[in-house]
Amino acid sequence: MPSEPTIIRTPTEMRAHGHALRAAGKRIGFVPTMGALHAGHLSLIDYVRQECDVVVASIFVNPLQFDRAEDLDTYPRTFEADRALCAQRGTDVIFCPTAPAMYPEGYCTKVSVSGMSGLLCGKVRTGHFDGVTTVVLKLFNAVLPHVAAFGEKDYQQLTLIKRMALDLGLDVAVVGRPTVREADGLAMSSRNVHLSPEERQRALALWRGLQKARTLADAGQTEARVLIDAARQEIEAINPTRLEYIEIVDSTNLESLERLDRPARMAMAVWLGSTRLIDNAPLN
């Protein structure tokens, strides 16, 4: 039987626990989440379990990163199921603070990674990435991890957090791990529960578009416009509610590319009904 994780609910208590672990020579691995855990989150827990002595997962639905109130209100909250999954995977600590504990009365500070925050999703999700980098820094300050793992499905988020850690000289290794997909290719996401069965099938066009572009790139096509058009055809064939963007960007700084002359990533955001889906893949 797996042991139950220790539940910690305040940043002060979490920081004291982190200091004690470090003083005992323990290596702390951290997986930040907003709950509604799926196999993608569990793969991150498995990774830090192998790399570290102690595994901490946070479950905190961060209000600062939601640009739409209805998205915050409807975000799935499944703490008991999440706690059970964490226990099964050998998680030692679940850090689950409240919003007032993280943002006490009078709170007015944000962390912003300029430039990259306004690209891709940042063009339409005003303030979203400031909310992400702010909460991640606060979580790092509470957990005191040596290693923090993030999924590549949220590639822009991963890139911004790596930049923040580098720029601020944080004592944590930020590690990106491959996107975990369903058997048919759909990227796992907590928001997939909002898809109707018909929307769920149509959502496979995102993966088909990425695969089509990768096949062309592997065959030697280097023109970004051609690759984007190929992916766009797959997406438009399902009549999405909205095709927000398809772009090919530099893998390091997220700047838009016209040619594949360096490590690149294709990224996209598509609306099906009221659900916004994102996906990405490397183009080598």
> Binding site for (R)-pantoate: what residues are annotated?
65, 157
Residue 45, token pair as written in the block:
């827990």
Q: Kindly write down the DSSP assignment for every residue of the chain, as one continuous string.
A: -PPPPEEE-SHHHHHHHHHHHHHTTPPEEEEEE-S---HHHHHHHHHHHHH-SEEEEEE---GGG-SSHHHHHHS---HHHHHHHHHHTT--EEE---HHHHS-TT-------TTGGGSGGGGTSTTHHHHHHHHHHHHHHHH--SEEEEEGGGHHHHHHHHHHHHHTT-SSEEEEEPPPB-TTSPBP-GGGGGS-HHHHHHTHHHHHHHHHHHHHHHTT--BHHHHHHHHHHHHHTT--SEEEEEEEEETTT--B-SB-SSSEEEEEEEEETTEEEEEEEEE-
Write out the binding residues. 34-41, 65, 151-154, 157, 180, 188-191
Q: Name the active-site residue from 17, 19, 41, 146.
A: 41
Q: Distance (Å, rounded) from C-alpha 52 to C-alpha 45?
A: 10
Tell the residue number behind the tokens 């580098």, with chain if given. Answer: 166
Nearest to 268 by CA among 239, 244, 241: 244
Write out the binding residues for ATP. 34-41, 151-154, 180, 188-191
41 included as an active-site residue = yes
Neighbour order of strands in the sheet with 264-272: 242-250, 264-272, 275-283
Residue type, 147: V
Tell me the catalytic residues.
41
